[in-house]
């Protein structure tokens, strides 16, 4: 009702920019805001291409309790004397941008230019993985978490935690030192899993990015094996079960209610190439994580009369980020791989009445294309400057030298990624932001991109018609 009241005179579209860790959320939002404010080179953005987009400005966000997305600082990092990627998302933030446009509708155009409030909500990818916990009991979550920790591929990361768990009696009298030791060992296991590319093992997400909750009882628990009989109310098992339920009630559910359940449109950013580099297990893990998270979306068309009471996501865009890390001839294959990863989630969304689309994109393009000759053969290459410390074939890069790189070929058949075998042979490096940027007639920096305009048109274009 509050949303409806504030949007009585100017309609408001709430866009969720979500994605798992390191998928490029901060870069996408910075590029989105900058391109709208400066009217960037976006021929695929229909309102701009048709000359109906008048301009945009930043506005005060109505919820004063949520930190503002620091767009200006992120843009300075990308366009300064020594361009660098801004820090990733570590807390929830928000931004409102007001768009002014001329409607195509003859009746609306008689009243002059129209306006739309575009509200953008950003939050850590780790928090996204907490949403499936709302449908699990402590016993169910513990069983799943321990099963993952005991898988053969998790041995190195999980062994210290499992050793700590073996030394604890869950039915013994509860005490804080035991709970803290278990929680610390479990958090270390989650952190090591993230470093090695595992995603579905990460929840609870606040364990990795606790913020103001660091050290609180709500973040001091760990999975325990199911007891053979009902534990006493004073046992360690009962204590950790209570804390798990408190975590859901006081941390996860308010986040879902206040932010996630109020979205109208959704873009899901996926770092597909990183998973491909790690092999079939990482690809399967990414599919599991995406499917479980997307099952929590409130999807489907909303009756305009009921929209003030029950908002639903009516469009979802799945985006394979870092498309600039492969040659454009591989973009169709990258999109096909993404379609395979989100196939289960897409079927569920369409059944609920939500429109979906997939594409490969780069919010800010860090490379350009070229070719190299090797063994009498000409190979499609990407050209860019690897970040300092990046390594490939025994060479460590200094962050200043531009190179031409053949990134490798993506498989023609996406299903092959889930089969036992070797990882896809990709030469995957992280590149610095573009070091030299063009400027438009007004002197504003132009951020190069790949299909960013088409993504924006799909997410917002119909509201500017």
The string of DSSP codes covering 311-360 is --B-EEEEEE--GGGS-GGGHHHHHHHHHHHTHHHHHHHHHTT-EEEEEE
The set of residues, in sequence order, having a beta carbon less than 8 Å from that of 220 and lying 6+ positions away, is 176, 179, 180, 183, 243
Residue whose structure tokens are 């579209």: 13
Residue 388 lies in a domain: yes
Residue 321 CB-density burial (10 A; 0-12 exposed, 13-18 middle, 19+ buried): buried
Residue whose structure tokens are 């997305």: 69
Residues 109 and 20 in one domain: yes
Query: What integer pLDDT is reported at residue 29 of this predicted model?
Result: 96
**Regarding beta strands 403-405 and 391-392, do their DSSP bridges make them parallel or antiparallel, or are they unpaired?**
unpaired
Radius of gyration of the chain (CA): 24
The domain of 192 spans 132-247
Residues 189 and 331 in one domain: no
Residue 434 lies in a domain: no
Exposure string of 212-244, with b = 16+ CB inside 10 Å and e = fewer, is: ebeeebbbbbbbbeeeeeebeeebbbbbbbebb
DSSP, collapsed to helix, strand or coil, labels residue 297 as coil
Residues 313 and 453 in one domain: yes
Residues 315 and 453 in one domain: yes
Query: What integer pLDDT is reported at residue 353 of this predicted model?
Result: 84
Query: What integer pLDDT is reported at residue 305 of this predicted model?
Result: 42
Q: How many structural domains compose the chain?
A: 3
Residue 98 lies in a domain: yes
* Helix orientation angle between 71-79 and 25-38, rounded to the nearest 10 degrees: 90
**Regarding beta strands 368-374 and 377-384, do their DSSP bridges make them parallel or antiparallel, or are they unpaired?**
antiparallel
The set of residues, in sequence order, having a beta carbon less than 8 Å from that of 154 and lying 6+ positions away, is 148, 193, 198, 201
Measure the CA–CA gap between 394 and 62, rounded to whole angstroms: 52
| Tokens representing residue 249 in the block | 């009630």
Residue 395's CB is within 10 A of a number of other CB atoms, namely: 10
Measure the CA–CA gap between 340 and 370, rounded to whole angstroms: 29
Residue 149 lies in a domain: yes
Residue 435 lies in a domain: no
Query: What integer pLDDT is reported at residue 428 of this predicted model?
Result: 84
Residues 105 and 136 in one domain: no
| Full pLDDT tens readout for the chain, 465 residues | 555 554 446 899 999 888 877 789 999 999 999 999 999 899 999 999 999 999 999 999 888 888 899 999 999 999 988 899 998 777 788 999 999 999 988 776 677 899 999 999 887 777 777 888 988 999 999 999 999 899 877 778 899 999 999 999 999 999 999 999 999 999 999 988 877 766 665 688 888 878 777 888 989 999 999 998 899 999 999 999 999 999 999 999 988 888 777 889 999 999 998 888 777 778 888 888 888 777 777 665 554 444 444 567 899 999 999 999 999 999 999 999 999 999 988 888 888 888 999 999 999 999 999 999 887 888 999 999 999 999 988 899 999 999 999 998 888 888 888 776 556 677 888 999 998 899 998 899 999 999 999 999 999 999 998
| CA dihedral for 167, 171, 174, 176, sign (positive or negative) | positive
* Nearest of 194, 188, 186 to residue 223 by alpha carbon: 186
Residue ranges with strand state E in 178-325:
265-270, 315-320
Residues 311 and 352 in one domain: yes
Query: What integer pLDDT is reported at residue 108 of this predicted model?
Result: 67
């Amino acid at each position: 009702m509050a949303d409806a009241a504030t949007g009585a005179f100017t309609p408001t579209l709430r866009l969720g920019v979500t994605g798992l860790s390191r998928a490029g959320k901060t870069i996408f939002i910075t590029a989105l805001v900058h391109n709208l404010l400066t009217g960037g080179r976006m021929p695929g953005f229909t309102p701009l291409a048709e000359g109906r987009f008048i301009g945009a400005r930043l506005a005060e966000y109505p919820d004063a309790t949520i930190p503002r997305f620091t767009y200006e600082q992120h843009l300075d990092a990308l366009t300064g004397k020594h361009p660098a990627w801004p820090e990733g998302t570590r807390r929830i933030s928000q931004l409102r941008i007001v768009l002014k446009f001329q409607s195509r509708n003859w009746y609306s155009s008689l009243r002059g230019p129209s306006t739309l409030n575009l509200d953008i909500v950003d939050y850590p990818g780790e928090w996204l993985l907490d949403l499936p916990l709302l449908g699990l009991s402590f016993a169910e979550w513990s069983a799943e978490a321990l099963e993952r920790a005991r898988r053969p591929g998790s041995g190195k990361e999980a062994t210290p935690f499992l050793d700590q768990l073996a030394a604890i009696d869950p039915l013994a009298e509860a005490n804080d030192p035991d709970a803290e030791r278990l929680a610390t060992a479990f958090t270390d296991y989650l952190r090591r899993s993230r470093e090695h590319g595992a995603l579905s093992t990460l929840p609870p997400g606040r364990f990795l990015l606790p913020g103001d909750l660091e050290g609180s009882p709500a973040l001091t628990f760990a999975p325990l094996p199911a007891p053979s009989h009902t534990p006493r109310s004073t046992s360690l098992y009962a204590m950790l079960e209570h804390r798990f339920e408190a975590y859901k009630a006081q941390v996860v559910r308010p986040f879902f209610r206040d932010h996630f359940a109020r979205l109208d449109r959704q873009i899901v950013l996926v770092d597909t190439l990183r998973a491909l580099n790690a092999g079939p297990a990482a690809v399967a893990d990414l599919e599991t994580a995406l499917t479980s998270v997307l099952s929590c979306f409130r999807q489907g068309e909303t009756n305009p009369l009921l929209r003030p009471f029950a908002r639903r996501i009516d469009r979802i865009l799945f985006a394979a980020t870092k498309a600039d890390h492969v040659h454009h001839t591989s973009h169709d294959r990258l999109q096909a791989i993404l379609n395979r990863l989100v196939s289960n989630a897409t079927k569920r969304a369409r059944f609920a009445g939500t429109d979906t689309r997939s594409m490969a994109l780069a919010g800010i393009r860090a490379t350009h294309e070229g070719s190299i000759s090797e063994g009498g053969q000409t190979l499609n290459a990407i050209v860019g400057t690897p970040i300092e410390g990046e390594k490939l074939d025994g060479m460590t890069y200094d962050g200043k030298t531009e190179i031409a790189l053949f990134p490798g070929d993506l498989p023609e058949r996406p299903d092959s990624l889930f089969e036992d075998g070797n990882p896809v042979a990709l030469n995957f490096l992280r590149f610095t932001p573009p070091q030299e940027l063009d400027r438009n007639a007004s002197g504003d920096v132009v951020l190069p991109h790949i299909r960013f305009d088409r993504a924006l048109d799909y997410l917002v274009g119909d509201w500017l018609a």
